[in-house]
Chains A and B, each alone.
Chain A
Amino acid sequence: MKIFYIMLITASCAVYAEDSTFFKIREENIKFYNYPNLRLTISKKCNLALQNKICKNLSFLNKISSNKTRMKHPNEQNIASTICSEIIGGKVYIGIDKNNNETSFCQLKDLSYLDVATIGYYADRNDGLTTKPRRSKK
């Protein structure tokens, strides 16, 4: 039983694993929290264990889809960015990390910044597009 609890705690830690990083957006250095297992990067701490308000506000991610947006903008190359502005009602900004790499973020109504790639991931997942194993020996 003790081993089971140890395993449970270890697994929980892996799920809630979090690290942080900084991006410069509009001349301001902003701290971001990464939750790799959730494919989530956001500027406000989402306490998953306690399911705080920030996490609850992200529940829209479970419903977003890219299908309608793709039909409306067939030639748009970054559909997640368009979902941010047209479906979520956010505004996209480019963030720059310490190595000058760029990443686009969607500023939500509560003024937090959410990684645009997170939006793309959940839209694809909800539309059934996930990484599949190889079907044949190449």
Chain B
Amino acid sequence: MYLKYDNSIMNKVYYRKAIILLILPSMALSSPDFEFTTDQACGTKRLDLPPEVLSTIPVQDQDGTNLCSAYASAQLIDAWRIANNPPVDALTSPIAFGVQYAAVTNQSGINFNPVLEVIGYAKKLDTCSYNVIRDEFNSKKSADFIYELVKNYQDAKNDSSQFEKSAKSILNCVLASGTSNTIDIEKIKKYMNEKTWVQYSNKIIEEICSNHKKSLSFLPGVTELKAHTYKNKTSAMNSFKKNINNRLDQKNAQPIGISYCKKVLKDKESNGVSPAGLLNNSTCNNQVHASVIVGRRLLKYKYGNKIETICQFLVRDSFGSSCNGYDLYEPDSIPMNTGEDRPKICENGQVWVDENSLMMNTSEVFHLKDK
């Protein structure tokens, strides 16, 4: 059995070319009676392209860490630092940030946390160099790095004969990275007596980051909008849209964070936030997520025999730069202008989503305040 092609794509590619070649001349002779509407408020904006701020911050991959809140927060923090507090010699490690947040707030594990709480805490935390942590796990998947620390801690806890071995193992790992010159075996043994693996991991990461961290106390406050505080979901959606558009229209615009139901990235009809404005695993089929909005565009699509337009937001996800997870095009989309290609659903791992669909699935909108 061979790899089957996506029939819908294959047939469309083949037949579309044939149909275009055969029908195009006749279309030119009889112009169709399309209705066309434009939305003046939906001008194209891209924060991910030069010279805008996110063009210098890569798309990251949280992999299996469940640290989406920390990844979204790190993007907001670094965009703000680059714009308002240069020079920024190293980007923020979301892993270090997420583990530090979990440790400071006494959590027993690393799970999804409301982003507002995470970003709201940022002033009390540090930014540790993204590259230092990435080099530490040497292209291992992010989750492996954390699991290694967890396993190391649990081995030592469960079997005292493993204590020395586990301590040496992690010491070698940290020493090999060359990032810390203050760590020794006695320190690691002391850290292994921490009550939870979160506290232990945080101590190890602090050691790795010791020469590569900066306090985030200079960060401004956070503007936050929560759906459940509005009189109904419609007013929350309208307020969210207005706020996001205002932010995007600013000079030197900054990205905007959202807590939302990830289902909407593939399903326009998804309605993952309850009428009361709540987002949780039961309203959203276990796909609660956090990302940042980094752009806006007007999409042209065919609806019956009419051409309509719709405003879309560009969502920068934290699952890497690949677009293979999404179809190339929406089935009803058409080129914006004659001679152009059809607009793609996904660019560099960032996904275009209809603004109303996205707002139906968003429970929180937040961003760092201006300087």
Interface residues of B (CB under 8 A from A): 1-6, 8-10, 13-14, 17-18, 21, 58-66, 68, 111-112, 138-144, 262, 266-269, 281, 286, 289, 301, 303, 308, 310, 319-328, 330-332, 345, 348-349, 354, 356
A3, A58, A78, A97: which contacts B3 (Cβ < 8 A)?
A: A58
A74-B324 CB under 8 A given contacts A10-B17, A15-B13: no
- Asked if A118 CB lies within 8 Å of chain B CBs, one says yes
* CA distance in complex: A29, B340 (Å): 34
* CA distance in complex: A76, B325 (Å): 17
Name the distance in Å between A78's Cβ and chain B's nearest Cβ: 5
Name the distance in Å between A56's Cβ and chain B's nearest Cβ: 6
In this complex, what residue of B is CB-closest to A75? B286
* CA distance in complex: A58, B242 (Å): 46
| Cβ B1 vs Cβ A77 within 8 A | no
In this complex, what residue of A is CB-closest to B37? A137
Number of A-B contacts (CB under 8 A): 185
Interface residues of A (CB under 8 A from B): 3, 7-8, 10-11, 14-15, 24-27, 36-41, 46, 48, 51, 55-56, 58-59, 61-62, 70, 74-78, 80-82, 92-97, 99-104, 115-118, 120-121, 124-125, 129-135, 137-138
Name the distance in Å between A92's Cβ and chain B's nearest Cβ: 4
Query: Do most interface residues of chain A lie in helix, strand or loop, or is the interface mixed?
Result: mixed
Query: Do most interface residues of chain B lie in helix, strand or loop, or is the interface mixed?
Result: loop
| Cβ A130 vs Cβ B268 within 8 A | no
Known interface pairs A55-B2, A101-B348, A102-B60; 11 further A-B residue pairs with C-beta atoms within 8 A, sorted by A's residue number: A25-B139, A39-B326, A59-B4, A62-B3, A77-B64, A103-B321, A115-B322, A117-B319, A124-B325, A131-B327, A131-B345
* CA distance in complex: A21, B316 (Å): 21
* CA distance in complex: A18, B46 (Å): 27
| Cβ A37 vs Cβ B266 within 8 A | no
A77, A121, A131: which contacts B62 (Cβ < 8 A)?
A: A77
Name the distance in Å between B341's Cβ and chain A's nearest Cβ: 12
B63, B138, B144, B266: which contacts A131 (Cβ < 8 A)?
A: B266
